Chains A and B, each alone.
Chain A
Amino acid sequence: MSEGGWLKSRLTRWVDRRLGDDGNARMQALTTRENEFGFDAFGFNKEDAKVAALFARFLYRDYFRVECHGIEKVPPGRVLLISNHSGQLPFDGVVIGGAMLFEATRPRMVRAMVEKFIPNLPFASYLFNRWGQITGTPENCQRLLESDEAILVFPEGAKGISKPYSKRYQLQDFGLGFMRLALKTGTPIVPIAVVGAEEQAPAFNLRPLARLLGTPAFPVMPFPPFFPIVPLPTKYRIYFGDPQLHEGDPDDDDDELAIKVKAVKNSIASMLHVGLQERKHVFW
């Protein structure tokens, strides 16, 4: 315990120093509901989250050198951020979180809905919680929206993140769940297009192996380290679209919801198109 404590306090001090005045001030400015022990109801803790914030800032500023457009369009209060998803590892999520934390004039914490198998994994199970991420159940999402938080959803899900290089910038099927929640809670939707992540890990899918292991995909890259662990330092461009406020009955048929979802999807697709037109190169 004491050795662990020593290591932890060293790490905390190092993170504090690296984060600097601006970073610390931004962390402090986050509006969260913490109890006397410093945790919110979903397990978020500002001190523990600083490591994650530092990592997000490194990815945001130094690694992916993000160019951010239209972040001022994100309205205050409850909001659903809907983005395309790609790149084998969810760095797009980290970077969107980084943008809201370090780029927005008023820093906000983004909470992403993580896969339901995460609570089974050691360390990830609680660290994701400490960093403000939550298990992806509709009830959790609704509860957070009702307390006016910003929720990040990737409606493409696992199909999106594990799509092969050949399918880059082709949006996969969107789930309808987020629209149902938006209608139920009267939440505006901000579509987001992330350009650059789709090239960070040019992998193809070894389908037989995936089937054997029972995973949604088994990505392999044609160059070392062969498995998508470290992404290529592509340049990210993030486009925030105009908020959309949909109205209707959350219990409508799927077909009805699909029309509304299509509007969000189209908006992301057109921003992706513009982004791809504008950029000169994948890496700069």
Chain B
Amino acid sequence: MTQPSTPGPGPAPAPAPEDDDALERDDDDEADSDPGELELHGKGERRVVITGISGRLGRLLAKRLHRDGRYHVIGIDRRPLLGRPRDIDHVQVDIRSKKARDVFRSGRVDALIHMGIMHDPRDTMEERHDFNIVGASKVLEYCQRYEVPKVVCLSSANVYGPRPDNDQFLTEDAPLMGAQDFPAIRDLIELDHLASSFFWKAREIDTVILRPVHILGQVRNAPSNYLRLPMVPTLLGFDPMVQLIHQDDVVEAIVNALEPGVRGIFNIVGPGEVPLSAVLRELGRRTLPVPHPFAKPFLSALWKVGLTSFPVPELDFIRFVCMVDGSRARSQLKFAPQRSLKETIRAVVLEDEV
């Protein structure tokens, strides 16, 4: 289930990238735009740039850092940032544009949190790849050029992929097999690789890669959407153990990753492991067990006519285990989830009045 903020099904809350030609426009008026012209209002001693700030998780993170007081948050996102306080700065441009570079050029930046990733499986591979990979390599390049001392990259535990012969708990060294049967998350894995090679290339920068498990909450990602279905289809005879994490805990993990000196790859694990069926029982969902030989053709038919937001390969997430070992994050990142298992599961229902 692609994380962290797949636009949901139906009336998508995430504004579509309507500014498709933003790229050229930006490039054109770049000539007469002076670097350092950005008008920033924020205070706070550490300047943190967040890409993809307008997503739900990004907004939560921005609020959390803003509340902290130590951080001056600057967002980069081509979507508007709704309801922001005045001293959170927002630069509404595409991360591939030169305007985005100005953010780094116009003054010292103390950290980059990169979470500007497109996930919608309905977008074309080319568009997604271009945005995710070209975008990421550009911002990483800026970080090196303008000497940003800290880079935090949000990946996902899904990069390991659900597989029948998976270890119960995969460590950070496990191979990233997620794309083997699921090409749509290939660029997520590529992004992860990009960040880890950046880790080795730019040794002077503290690079942190976070791989959280399924994030639950008001976020509109695949696992949360799945658990919100009124009638939840499951695979008959399969009930894998799953790991879930509350969106607030993910935000805390990112904040911990900002600490100077912290570097490396970390699996971010929530409060525990439960079978999928226990999660659904806790939510009181009605289930529809489908024999797995029928599930694939059925879902692929639904997908073709646009009745579902779940691509076929995601079935493996409710069939096989894909769990990770979070002990490195516990010891080095000093991260421990605060929400209980129940709270984490319940987080998907508390919303919708927003």
Residues of A whose CB lies within 8 Å of any CB of B are 1, 35-37, 39, 41-43, 116-117, 119-126, 129-130, 134-135, 137, 139-140, 143
Contacts and interface: CB of A to CB of B under 8 A. Distances in A.
Given A41-B168, A43-B241, A125-B240, 20 more contacts: A1-B287, A35-B271, A35-B341, A36-B341, A37-B278, A39-B273, A43-B273, A43-B275, A117-B164, A119-B165, A119-B320, A124-B237, A125-B237, A125-B238, A125-B239, A126-B239, A129-B275, A135-B165, A137-B166, A143-B169
B241 A39 contact: yes
B129 to A, nearest CB: 32
Contacts of B46: none
A170 B238 CA distance: 37
Given A35-B341, A116-B164, A122 B278 contact: no
Of A35, A37, A116, chain B has the most CB atoms within 10 Å of the CB of A37
Nearest to B164: A119
Nearest to A5: B281
Nearest to B238: A125
Contact of A39 (B237, B275, B286, B340): B275
In order of increasing CB-CB distance, the 6 nearest A-B pairs are: A122-B237, A119-B164, A126-B239, A123-B237, A139-B167, A35-B272
A129 B320 CA distance: 12
Contacts, number: 79
Contacts of A42: 168, 241
B236 interface: yes
A44 to B, nearest CB: 10
B291 interface: yes
Contacts of A119: 164-165, 320-321
5 contacts: A119-B165, A125-B319, A126-B239, A137-B167, A143-B168
Chain B: interface size category = 20 to 34
A134 B168 contact: yes
A1 B287 CA distance: 7
Contacts of A134: 168
A37 to B, nearest CB: 5
Contact of B236 (A36, A39, A122): A122
B339 to A, nearest CB: 12
A36 B291 CA distance: 30
Nearest to B243: A41
Contacts of A143: 168-169
A39 B167 contact: no
B273 A35 contact: yes
B165 A35 contact: no
Interface string B208-251: 00000000000000000000000000011111110000000000
Interface string B250-280: 0000000000000000000001111100100
Given A120-B164, A139-B167, A126 B240 contact: yes
B186 interface: no
A129 B166 CA distance: 14
A117 B166 CA distance: 11
Interface in B133-181: 164-169
Given A43-B275, A122-B237, A126-B237, A36 B165 contact: no
B342 interface: yes
B168 A135 contact: yes
Contacts of B168: 41-42, 134-135, 137, 139-140, 143
A43 B321 CA distance: 11
B43 interface: no
A212 B287 CA distance: 39
Given A39-B273, A43-B241, A125-B238, A140 B167 contact: yes
A36 to B, nearest CB: 6
A129 B341 CA distance: 20
A244 B148 CA distance: 56
B273 A41 contact: yes
B63 interface: no
A119 B167 CA distance: 11
Nearest to A1: B286
A185 to B, nearest CB: 16
Nearest to A119: B164
B292 interface: yes
A4 to B, nearest CB: 9
Contacts of A122: 235-238, 291-292
B177 to A, nearest CB: 14
B340 A36 contact: yes
Contacts of A37: 272, 274, 278, 282, 341
Contacts of B239: 125-126
Nearest to A122: B237
B241 to A, nearest CB: 5
B165 A116 contact: yes
A119 B238 CA distance: 9
Contacts of B238: 122, 125-126
B128 to A, nearest CB: 30
A199 B241 CA distance: 37
Given A35-B272, A119-B321, A137 B291 contact: no
B237 to A, nearest CB: 3
Nearest to A2: B286
A164 B236 CA distance: 35
Given A1-B287, A116-B165, A119-B164, A39 B292 contact: no
